[in-house]
Structure 1
Amino acid sequence: MRTKRHIKEKKKFAIVIDGETEYWYFQMLKRNEKSIAVDIEPKIPQKKKLSDQYQSVIELSKNYDKVYWIIDLDVIISESLSVKKGNKRSIDTFLEYKKIIAKKYKNITLIINQPCLEFWFLVHFEATTQQFSNCEEAGKKLKKYLPDYEKSKKYFTKNDHDIYIKLKPHLNTAFSNVDKLPLFDSENLNKGTSEMGKFFEEIQLKKRLSSPK
């Protein structure tokens, strides 16, 4: 009589993002790292307001083992600077959401990039806390190392030479550099930073990619 095999199901992780750049990057990570022990599903909310993203994160936390909310801080800061006097700033709303999540939702992790995902790409090549006023400035600095860099689906998802493949040889440098970065500081919002290392650590890719071959 055959005994039933107990197949361990992969954990399910959801990633809430507000842009195509992040979506393409995580899709390429999935494409190239098939051995990771979790199923990752990038989610782009239909409405991209901060409040809509927050609601999406909370709802997904009910059905997924882990939910990551990837935040580009430059958008929030830009919206805060243009808000009319007397209205609530986006950064204040975000900091409130951050406190609620830390207190009530243990399976939600915030991943903050300042100014944006391009800063994470940049630390694959250099250690920096440079302040960039917007994502375009970070992208220009990145071109020092990736001269052909462009924010397009074709560039990010090219077969056998996608964005993840381009950056993977430098991942250990990125891990080392982000480990040296200061933690997110609500009193110093302009300092460049990336918390992407937390994601790679929790899906156990950081340990595996850092191990000697």
Structure 2
Amino acid sequence: MMERAKRTKRDGKQIHLIVVDGKTEKWYLDLYKEKNSLKNFKVDPELCKKRTLKEQFQTIEENLNNYLSIIWVIDFDVILKETCETPKGEKTKISEFREYMELLKKHENVHILINVPCLEYWYLLHIKNTSKYYTCYNDLEKEFKNTILDGYEKTEKFYKQKNKDIYTKLQPFLEKAITNAKQLGDINIYDMEKGKAEIYKLFSILNKK
């Protein structure tokens, strides 16, 4: 058992760990891995389950020395919503997140990639060059009508349709999406009401020689 643990830790140093906060991110990244026959990263959690900010941060802390790099992909719609709903005098979710960012920024192998409002904004950039700010997914979903993502659902069935999975649909427009996302610039954690899709940076991190 001890030998297996040592081997897992040693092997992990050759791959990246991607920590996500939702099942849609996991489905999308697992498809990217499968379609490109990649072995240089793993997605955490292995099972699709929702986790708190603290639980995600703890996962990163616990694995700082176990992987080539750790990439934290996080949607900001829920954080902003819960921040607005926080009773006066209590710590907000955005304050909690800023604290985690401060603690992690000293680690060069940690990359925090924020999507505002959510992963679906990244999908939108495949089919539209926009800088519009949407407060949540519900505001954004109408943009998929009459496009390759018409009928979009946050379900495993939709994501993994045979020969029509979401990665296969979007892949021809990947470079366009990366260009559109780059034009939006980097996140300013003190000015979050701007559309962003920093997940585009993940591809260069994973492909860096």
Q: Report the TM range for the smaller structure's normalisation.
A: 0.7 to 0.9
Choose which of 144, 150, 153 in structure 2 pairs with 1:147.
150
Matches for 1:1-213 after TM superposition, within 5 Å: 11-34=14-37, 36=38, 38-44=39-45, 48-103=51-106, 105-145=107-147, 146-204=149-207
Bigger shift: residues 181-190 or 68-77: 181-190
CA RMSD in angstroms, aligned pairs only: 2.0
Normalising by structure 2, report the TM-score.
0.87
How far off is 1:123 after superposition?
0.4
Give the secondary structure class of the aligned counterpart of 1:127.
Answer: coil
Q: Does the CA contact (< 8 Å) of 2:57 and 2:100 recur in 1?
A: yes
Q: Aligned equivalents of 1:82 and 1:109: distance in 2?
A: 28
Q: Does the CA contact (< 8 Å) of 2:23 and 2:50 recur in 1?
A: no
Q: Does the CA contact (< 8 Å) of 2:70 and 2:110 recur in 1?
A: yes
Give the secondary structure class of the aligned counterpart of 2:88.
Answer: coil
Q: Aligned equivalents of 1:162 and 1:33: distance in 2?
A: 14
Give the secondary structure class of the aligned counterpart of 1:31.
Answer: helix
Q: Aligned equivalents of 2:133 and 2:146: distance in 1?
A: 17
Q: Does the CA contact (< 8 Å) of 1:118 and 1:142 recur in 2?
A: no
Note the alpha carbon deviations across 1:3-47, whole angstroms, 9 max, x for none: xxxxxx89211111111111100110011011x4x5221113866
How far off is 1:148 after superposition?
2.1
Q: Are the structure 2 counterparts of residues 91 and 159 from structure 1 closer, same or farther at C-alpha, using a change threshold of 3 Å?
A: same
Normalising by structure 1, report the TM-score.
0.85
Q: Which amino acid counterpart does residue 134 of structure 1 have in structure 2?
A: C
Q: Does the CA contact (< 8 Å) of 1:47 and 1:53 recur in 2?
A: no
Q: Are the structure 2 counterparts of residues 89 and 24 from structure 1 closer, same or farther at C-alpha, using a change threshold of 3 Å?
A: same
Q: May I ask how many residue pairs the two structures share in their alignment?
A: 195
Q: Which runs of 4+ in 1 moved over 3 A?
A: none
Give the secondary structure class of the aligned counterpart of 1:110.
Answer: strand
- Runs of at least 5 residues in structure 1 that lack an aligned partner in the other structure: 1-8, 208-213
Q: Aligned equivalents of 1:98 and 1:159: distance in 2?
A: 39
